[in-house]
Structure 1
Amino acid sequence: MYYGAFSISKNMKLNIQNETSRLRAVILGTAVSNGPEPSIEEAYDPKSVLHIKAGTYPEETDMVKEMEAVAEVFKKYDIKVYRPKVIEDYNQIFSRDIAFVIEDKLIKANILPDREREYEAIQHIVDEIDNDKVIVLPEECHVEGGDVMPWNDYIFIGTYSGEDYSDYITARTNMDAVIAIQELFPHKTVKSFELRKSNTDPKENALHLDCCFQPIGKDKAILHKNGFLVEREYEWLLNYFGKDNVFEITKDEMFNMNSNVFSISEDVIVSEKNFTRLNTWLREQGFTVEEVAYSEIAKQEGLLRCSTLPLIRD
């Protein structure tokens, strides 16, 4: 029997147009078998280093508990939750880093080489997607999903284009990737933002765009001015959303990852329970806020958006 003329139809139809439409399917990372506490040399970001030095690096049991609470919120809203296959003694929390979806395409992120196995652990999910909808960028394109935000007619991308790019382990997305994404989606306006980077000071480091900015609802945003290297780029966002629609966070709030909440819909946001000022403002704006404990995960310079990879929104 000859099957060569037929391709197997895969059953997952991706759809991501923006950050806030009603979520239907998502990959949530896992903290199970997270491995031993890394050495300072093994850490990928200055916030992890700070907690390693202070003896406050998060315990696996606490992080598992935090992530399962998020999974429960997703189940409450009837969202299909996929999880990576567990790799023994390996950090698989931040699924946003390893891939991202724009429209009906999943783009494999070119991440730090040490983290390549994280993508292999979601291969069983990728296998449900048509092959021609899975994009692997050229090797010179460095990109992580935390820097990429589809927003209707726009794609917002955080980047760093300084000549000292290679000196920063915190510089994760380069201009080669920005250009490649523009070529993949020529009908979209790709707008890049230069981010402030530091290998040593977590309060002066925007690891990803979602560490200093995130759109919420239909027309609002959370924003931190100092995360942007170029003031006019920050001003562009402020003007685009309008000052009355923007919640400005402080340096300490950025450090605590206040911009890294996660939208289930235009009306429902999952947020860390200690973000008192933000959560109060969100409720005043009419949002339903699903509060969870996520402060242990936050010690690795990532929060709710970082640990989720949306696949399908309405």
Structure 2
Amino acid sequence: MLELNIKNETSRLRTVVLGSAINNGPTPRPEEAYDPKSLEHILAGTYPLEQDMVNEMDTFNKLLEKYNVTVFRPEMIANYNQIFTRDIGFVIDDIFIKSNILPDRERELDAIQYVIDQIDPKKVVRPPEEVHIEGGDVILWKEYIFIGTYKGSDYKDYITARTNIQGVQYIKELFPNKIIKEFDLVKSKIEARDNALHLDCCFQPVGNDKGIIYKSGFREEADYLFLVNLFGKENLFHITRDEMYTMNSNVFSIDTNVVVSEKNFTRLNNWLRANGFIVEEIPYAEIAKQEGLLRCSTLPLVRD
């Protein structure tokens, strides 16, 4: 039996599902793009090649194994994008929550069913159909559950709006003892530099008391100020619009002092080292072209 335990983003990682880029399928047609960044690269002819993405994910896998993390990978589905496991489910405490994802992506959940089968069935839940919530919008910190959402009346018109207010309510009811704080995120269907696809695209805690933040990712300044007051401005690394675009806030913690980061994030990586972190730099820039990075491609199951 897999005993799930996820209470935060940064404790020592023991077990994780890492996505896969094998047999990822051909470059999508423009109308098949799920987000503006993928669309940009499809149109520019710079959409990532499968072999490059496989190599990047293999490097990440080897790094996780170096730290003695148990790594599950999805079963292979031919011609299917299975990189971003964070979207399809997430763990809070000892509960595995299946996401109601975009219908085209339903098979991604089937590909990790062999992992879900190792969990006590009483600990696996699936929200009702009207509840939309994806793991990239859910961030755990101490007694808080932070949830990214989109409150615009045009929610249904945005393929980039992944978590609705019903999703926030669902988590409130499931975890009555936690403090739930939702954040209204900026969305764009056409400009990736102005699209916070998930909360972890504009904010993520690192270590015990620090975080990476992009101020303009929040529709309400009050939401941004809430995090500044909670963490303290001196503990937050503020990223630029271009750094948000290259996914600087989407790093991944293996431990409170170990952060996996993209090797090109020079300014961020220097800040992390200056603050006492061990930074494991790996190439992940090809995967980033699909508007997801290290956190997006992981689904942690057990942390100490």
- The question of a shared fold, defined as TM-score above 0.5 by the shorter chain, is answered with yes
Q: Distance in 1 between matches of 2:230 and 2:72?
A: 34
Aligned partner (choices 77, 92, 98) of residue 102 of structure 1: 92
How far off its partner does 1:161 sit?
1.5
1:93 is aligned to 83
1:8 is aligned to none
Q: Secondary structure of 1:300's match?
A: coil
- The one-letter code of the counterpart of 2:30 is I
Q: Does 1:173 align with 2:172?
A: no
Q: Distance in 2 between matches of 1:150 and 1:141?
A: 19
1:7 is aligned to none
1:129 is aligned to 119
Q: Distance in 2 between matches of 1:142 and 1:61?
A: 32
Q: Distance in 1 between matches of 2:169 and 2:26?
A: 38
- Could you list the per-position Cα deviations for residues 22-77 of structure 1 after superposition, in whole angstroms to 9, with x for gaps in the alignment? 00000000000000000010000000000001100000000000000000110110
How far off its partner does 1:152 sit?
2.0
Q: Distance in 1 between matches of 2:109 and 2:138?
A: 17
Q: Secondary structure of 1:110's match?
A: coil
Q: Distance in 2 between matches of 1:42 and 1:53?
A: 12
1:238 is aligned to 228
- The one-letter code of the counterpart of 1:208 is H
Q: Secondary structure of 2:285's match?
A: coil
Aligned partner (choices 32, 35, 44) of residue 45 of structure 1: 35
2:297 is aligned to 307
Q: Which runs of 5+ in 2 are unaligned?
A: none
Q: Does 1:185 align with 2:175?
A: yes
1:6 is aligned to none
1:21 is aligned to 11
Indicate the percent of aligned positions where both proteins have the same amino acid. Answer: 64
How far off its partner does 1:151 sit?
1.3
Alignment of 1:250-261 (within 5 A): 250-261=240-251
How many aligned positions are there? 304
Q: Secondary structure of 1:101's match?
A: strand
Out of 54-63 and 144-153, give the one that drifted further.
Answer: 144-153
Alignment of 1:134-283 (within 5 A): 134-283=124-273
Aligned partner (choices 56, 71, 78) of residue 66 of structure 1: 56
How far off its partner does 1:126 sit?
0.2
How far off its partner does 1:137 sit?
0.3
Structure 1 runs of 4+ off > 4 angstroms? Answer: none
- Could you list the per-position Cα deviations for residues 239-258 of structure 1 after superposition, in whole angstroms to 9, with x for gaps in the alignment? 11001100000000000000
Q: Secondary structure of 1:19's match?
A: coil
2:275 is aligned to 285
User: Over the residues paired in the alignment, what is the CA RMSD in angstroms?
Assistant: 0.4
TM-score normalised according to structure 1 size: 0.96
Q: Distance in 1 between matches of 2:8 and 2:78?
A: 34
Q: Distance in 1 between matches of 2:295 and 2:239?
A: 17
Q: Distance in 1 between matches of 2:213 and 2:151?
A: 21
- Could you list the per-position Cα deviations for residues 83-132 of structure 1 after superposition, in whole angstroms to 9, with x for gaps in the alignment? 00000000000000000000000000111000000000000000000000
Q: Secondary structure of 2:65's match?
A: helix
Q: Which runs of 5+ in 1 are unaligned?
A: 1-10
Q: Distance in 2 between matches of 1:131 and 1:43?
A: 34
Q: Distance in 2 between matches of 1:180 and 1:167?
A: 22
Q: Distance in 1 between matches of 2:70 and 2:101?
A: 26
Q: Secondary structure of 2:247's match?
A: coil
- The one-letter code of the counterpart of 1:128 is Q
Aligned partner (choices 9, 12, 33) of residue 23 of structure 2: 33
Which has the higher Rg, Structure 1 or Structure 2?
1
Aligned partner (choices 66, 70, 89) of residue 80 of structure 1: 70
